[in-house]
Amino acid sequence: MTNPMFTKPLLAYLEAGEIEIRTGPFGTQLKASEYVDEGTPVINVRNIGFGSLRPEKLEFVPENVESRLQQHRLRTGDIVFGRKGAVERHLLVKADQSGWIQGSDCIRVRIISGSLNPRFLSYCLLLEEHQSWIQSQASHGATMATLNQGIIERIRVPERTTSEQQRIVDILSGYDDLIDVNQRRVSIQEDMVRRLFDEWFVRFRYPGHETVPLIEAELGMVPEGWKPGTIADLSSFIGRGLAPKYDNEASSLVISQKCIRDQALNLSPARRQSKPIPQSKLVIDGDVLINSTGVGTLGRVAQLLGTLPNTTVDTHVTIVRVVEQVDLHYFGLQLLQLQPHFERQGIGATGQTELSKTVIADTKILIPPSDLASRFGRIAGPLRRQAELLRNQNNKLRTARDLLLPKLISGKIDLSSAEKTFAEAAE
Q: In 3D, which of 85, 38, 78, 90 has the Cα closest to residue 60?
A: 38
pLDDT score for 1: 41
pLDDT digit string (tens) for 361-405? 999 999 999 999 999 999 999 999 999 999 999 988 998 899 999
Same domain, 132 and 22: yes
Report pTM: 0.80
Mean pLDDT, rounded, for 288-297: 92
Boundary of a domain, candidates 322, 344, 367: 367
Q: Does an H or E element contain 14, and which?
A: helix 10-15
Same domain, 174 and 281: no
Q: In 3D, which of 48, 168, 82, 49 has the Cα closest to residue 118?
A: 168
CB under 8 Å to 243, separation ≥6 — which residues?
275, 314, 315
Cα 253 to the center of its chain, rounded Å: 22
Q: What does the longest C-alpha to C-alpha distance in the chain come to?
A: 76
CB under 8 Å to 182, separation ≥6 — which residues?
390, 391, 393, 394, 397
Residue 317 lies in a domain: yes
CA separation for the pair 3, 334 (Å, rounded): 51
CA separation for the pair 66, 29 (Å, rounded): 11
Number of domains in the chain: 3
Same domain, 342 and 375: no
Same domain, 254 and 281: yes
Same domain, 143 and 187: no
Same domain, 102 and 42: yes
Same domain, 284 and 402: no
Q: In 3D, which of 163, 84, 86, 98 has the Cα closest to residue 125?
A: 86
Residue 418's pLDDT band (boundaries 50, 70, 90)?
confident
Contact of 160 with 168, CB cutoff 8 Å = yes
Residue 1 lies in a domain: no
Same domain, 306 and 410: no
Residue 215 lies in a domain: no
Buried b / exposed e over 164-173, threshold 16 CB at 10 Å, is bbebbbebbb
Residue 217 lies in a domain: no
CA separation for the pair 85, 82 (Å, rounded): 7
pLDDT score for 271: 96
Same domain, 289 and 179: no
CATH number for the domain that contains residue 327: 3.90.220.20
Same domain, 20 and 151: yes
CA separation for the pair 81, 382 (Å, rounded): 41
pLDDT digit string (tens) for 326-346? 999 999 999 999 999 999 998
pLDDT score for 144: 81
Q: Minimum mean pLDDT among 256-270, 381-395, 408-422: which range?
A: 408-422
Contact of 300 with 263, CB cutoff 8 Å = yes
Structural domain that includes position 127: 6-159
Buried b / exposed e over 295-318, threshold 16 CB at 10 Å, is eebbbbbbbbbeebeebbbbebbb
Distances (CA, A) of 403 to 67, 156, 173, 240, 399: 43, 21, 14, 34, 6
Q: What percent of the chain has pLDDT over 90?
A: 79
SS (H, E, C) 299-332: CCEEECCCCCCCEEEECCEEEEEECCCCCHHHHH
pLDDT digit string (tens) for 93-118? 999 999 999 999 999 999 998 789 99
Q: In 3D, which of 356, 365, 312, 370 has the Cα closest to residue 336?
A: 365
Residue 298 lies in a domain: yes
CA 413, 416, 422, 427 dihedral sign is: negative
Same domain, 409 and 270: no
Same domain, 195 and 73: no
Residue 218 lies in a domain: no
